[in-house]
Structure 1
C-alpha cells in the first residue's frame, strides 16, 4: 500500500531545494584544497638548486645532478598519472589520493637525512614523483567527469588553478625558510602540508554522486555508480594503445610536452637560480613566482570559462603563441632588482601558465569520451616528460655556458611550434563526449 505524504513532511520545498548548493560543489571544494596541499612540494625544487649546489649550505652537487633528480620527479609525475586515473576507477578516488599524499610526505621528509645524490633521486625523484603523479591533473579530470555534466570547463579551470594557489601559499613561506634557516626545515614543511590534507580527503571526499544518491551536477537522469574495473594497469595501457592510433592524441601529447617544458621544466625549476645569476635575491625571485601563481588562478579559471564557449584548439594556439613571445623577451628583463617590465612579464606569463589545461581536457573529452580521463593522463605524461627533459637540460646548459639565455630562446621557439600543432588538431566528427556550448 502506498502512503501519501505532504511535501512539507517529507522534503524541503522547491525553493529550498534551489537554494541548497549541489553536493558536487563541495566535492570540488575538497578537491581544490587537496590539490593546494599537494602543490606545496612543487614549490620547493627551484629553491633547492642553489642551497644544494653550495658546498657551505648543501653538498656541492652540480646543477645538472640536481636537475636530474627534479627531472625524475617530473617524469614519474607524468607516467604515473594515467595509471592513477585507472586506479581511481578500481579502488576509488579517496583511497588513491590519501595514499598518494602519504607517499609525498614520506619522500619529502626522508630528504632531511640524505647524504648522497642518489638519495635525492630516490626520495625526491622517485617517491615524491610517484605520489604527485597520483595527485596530478588526471585527478581533477576524474572528479570533473564524475560529478559534473554542466560547467565542466569552468570547474576544470578552478581545479587546475588549485596548483597555482598552492604555489602562491607556499612559495613565499618556503623561500623565507630557506633564506633564513636552511633547506631542511622547508622540506619538513612540505611533508607536514601533505600529511595535514589526508584527514580531509578521507572524511570529506566522495568517489561518485551515486554514493550519496545524487545526480551529477547538470545531469537530467540519475547515473549509477559503475562497478570497480579490475586490471587498472592493463586498462591504462589498452586505452593508450587505442588513442595512439589516432592523430589528435599525438598532437595533444606534443603540444602538452612543450607546455610542460616551458612551465614546470623551465620557469618553475630554473627561474629562481637564473634570477639569482643576475644578483636578484632568492626571496624576491620566489615572490615573483608566487605572483605568477596569483595570475595563474585568474587565467586558468578564465580559460575554463572560454573553453565552455569557444573552440578549444584555437584557444590553445593563442595561448602557446603568446607564451612563446613572452619567453623570447625574458633574457632582456632579468636584473638585480624587480622592474616594471619584469612585472609585466610575470603577470602575462601567469595568466597563460596552465590556461592550456581546460581546452586540452575538453579536446580529450571530445575525441575519447569515457576514456578521456585516462587519455588525458597519458597526455599529461608527455607534459611531464617535456618538463623533465628541460629541467635536466636547463641545468646542464647553465653548467656548460654559464647562462640560461639559450634555454629561454629555445623554449620560446618550441611554443611557436606548439601553436601550429594545436591548429592542426581536427574536430571530432561524432563530437563524442563534447559538451554543449552554454549561452551564458
Structure 2
C-alpha cells in the first residue's frame, strides 16, 4: 500500500543525493563485516589437524552457520522495519564479534557448532543481503538494480580484503589469531554504523532518489515483525514464482557459499597447492565478483531478468564441470581463467532475483527476498555438509563439483519458467 503524500516542503535537492552517501556507508559496513564469511574454508584443515574432528563434523558446524544465515534474514528485514536499520545491524555485528571471539576458547566440536554455527550464523543472517535490499528499497526508486549490485559486491570486496590476510595469519600464527581478527573487525564497524547510517530519507527531509515533489513521510514502525514475516511467506508460497526463485537461489547458494567458498581451499590443498595461494585465488574471485555484480545490476535495469538468470546459471554450471581438471599444486593459466570467469558470475544472480521479488511482491519484496535467501543458505548448508562427507568417503571433492554443475543447468531452465507480472498488477502490488 503506497503511503499517502503530504504537502510538506522538501529540502532543496543537493547536487549529490544523500541516498548515495547512505549506500556508501552500507557498502563499507558490509565490507567491514565480511571477514566472518571469509574464514570457514580456512578453518577446516587446521581444526581437523588440531582436534582430529572429521571434516564432516566441521562441515556440519559451517552448515548450521549457513542455514541460520538464511533463516534469520527474512526476520531481520521485518525487524529493520520495526526498529530501524541501525539498531538491527549494530546488534548483529556485536553478536558476530561475541561468537567469533568465543571460538578461541573451544575444545569440543559442539562448541564450534554453538559459537560459529549458531551465534555467528544469527548475526550474519541479520547482516545478509536483506540489509542491502532494505537500504535499496527505502532510499532508491531509480537505479535500484545498480545499487543492489554495488551493495551485493560489498561482501565480495570484504572477502578480497580479508582472505589473503586471514590465510596468512592461519598459516603463520594459527587459526585463533584469525578468529580474533574477525571479531575485532566486527566490533570496529559498530560505531561507524550507529553514527553514520540513517534509516529513511524522511529522517533528513528528503525523498528517495528518483522521486520528486512533495515529501513522502516515513512509514510508521510496523509491529509484529515475526507475524508479518511469516505472513509474507504464506502469501508468497501460494505463488509459482516464489518456488522457482527459491529453487534457483538454493542452487546458487549450493554452488557458491556451500561449495566453492567452503571447500575450494581444502580441495586445492589436497592437490598440493599452498593454503595462502588457494585463499588468494578465492580472493581474486571476490575482485571479479565486484565487477560482475555491479554489471549485473546495470543489466537488471535494462534487460529481461529471467534470461539474465538463465545465462548466469548456465555459465556457472559449465565452469564447475571443468574445475576438477584444473586443480593442481600450482596456479596455471587455465585456473586463472576459471577464477576470473567464476568470479564474474559469483553473485551476479542477486540483482535480478531481488528485482523479481520486488516485481511480484511489492512492499514485502525485501522480506520475500529474505525467504528466498533462506533457501540460498539452506542449499549452501546442505552442500557444505555433503562436501565434507564426500571428502571423507571418496578422498576427493570431484563428485560434488560435477553434481553442482548439473544443478546449475537445472536452475537455468527453472529461471526461464518464471513469469513476469504485468505492469498493471505490479502497480497494485506496490
TM superposition score normalised by structure 1: 0.93
Q: Does 1:259 align with 2:247?
A: no
| 1:7-51 deviation per Cα after TM superposition (whole angstroms, max 9, x unaligned) | xxxx99x8xx56x31110110011001111111100000000000
Paired residues of 1:365 and 1:432 also in contact (CA < 8 A): no
What is the deviation of 1:429? 2.3
Alignment RMSD (CA, Å):
1.2
Question: After the TM superposition, which residues 212-227 of structure 1 pair with which residues of structure 2 at under 5 Å, given as runs?
Answer: 212-221=204-213, 222-227=215-220
Paired residues of 1:74 and 1:384 also in contact (CA < 8 A): yes
Counterpart CA distance in 2 for 1:150 and 1:425 is 24
Q: Does 1:33 align with 2:28?
A: yes
| 1:144-193 deviation per Cα after TM superposition (whole angstroms, max 9, x unaligned) | 00000000000000000000000000000000000001000000000000
Counterpart CA distance in 2 for 1:191 and 1:433 is 43
Counterpart CA distance in 1 for 2:36 and 2:180 is 10
Paired residues of 1:171 and 1:290 also in contact (CA < 8 A): yes
The answer for the alignment partner of 2:368 in structure 1 is 375
Secondary structure of the structure 2 residue equivalent to 1:279: coil
Q: Does 1:186 align with 2:181?
A: no
Q: Does 1:133 align with 2:154?
A: no
Moved over 6 A (4+): none
Q: Does 1:397 align with 2:390?
A: yes
TM superposition score normalised by structure 2: 0.96
The answer for the alignment partner of 2:159 in structure 1 is 167
Instruction: Judge which range, 138-147 or 421-430, deviates more.
Output: 421-430
Paired residues of 1:148 and 1:216 also in contact (CA < 8 A): yes
Question: After the TM superposition, which residues 263-278 of structure 1 pair with which residues of structure 2 at under 5 Å, given as runs?
Answer: 263-278=256-271
Secondary structure of the structure 1 residue equivalent to 2:16: coil
Question: After the TM superposition, which residues 34-433 of structure 1 pair with which residues of structure 2 at under 5 Å, given as runs?
Answer: 34-54=29-49, 58-221=50-213, 222-430=215-423, 432-433=425-426
| 1:208-266 deviation per Cα after TM superposition (whole angstroms, max 9, x unaligned) | 00001001000124221110111100100000000000000000000000000000000
Counterpart CA distance in 2 for 1:96 and 1:392 is 29
- Structure 2 runs not aligned, ≥5 long: 1-9
Counterpart CA distance in 2 for 1:258 and 1:44 is 22
Counterpart CA distance in 2 for 1:157 and 1:23 is 18
Paired residues of 1:253 and 1:379 also in contact (CA < 8 A): yes
Counterpart CA distance in 2 for 1:228 and 1:366 is 23
Counterpart CA distance in 2 for 1:209 and 1:433 is 23
What is the deviation of 1:329? 0.1
Paired residues of 1:370 and 1:433 also in contact (CA < 8 A): no
Counterpart CA distance in 2 for 1:69 and 1:405 is 22
Secondary structure of the structure 2 residue equivalent to 1:226: coil
Secondary structure of the structure 2 residue equivalent to 1:380: helix
Counterpart CA distance in 2 for 1:311 and 1:240 is 25
Counterpart CA distance in 2 for 1:433 and 1:360 is 16
What is the deviation of 1:431? 5.5
Counterpart CA distance in 2 for 1:38 and 1:322 is 29
From 16, 30, 54, the equivalent of 1:21 is 16
Change (3 A) 1:306 1:227: same
| 1:35-74 deviation per Cα after TM superposition (whole angstroms, max 9, x unaligned) | 11111100000000000001xxx21100000000000000
Larger Rg: 1
Counterpart CA distance in 2 for 1:392 and 1:432 is 41
Change (3 A) 1:313 1:232: same
Paired residues of 1:366 and 1:432 also in contact (CA < 8 A): no
Counterpart CA distance in 1 for 2:216 and 2:168 is 48
Counterpart CA distance in 2 for 1:204 and 1:357 is 26
Paired residues of 1:367 and 1:431 also in contact (CA < 8 A): no
Paired residues of 1:79 and 1:381 also in contact (CA < 8 A): yes
- Structure 1 runs not aligned, ≥5 long: 1-10, 435-440
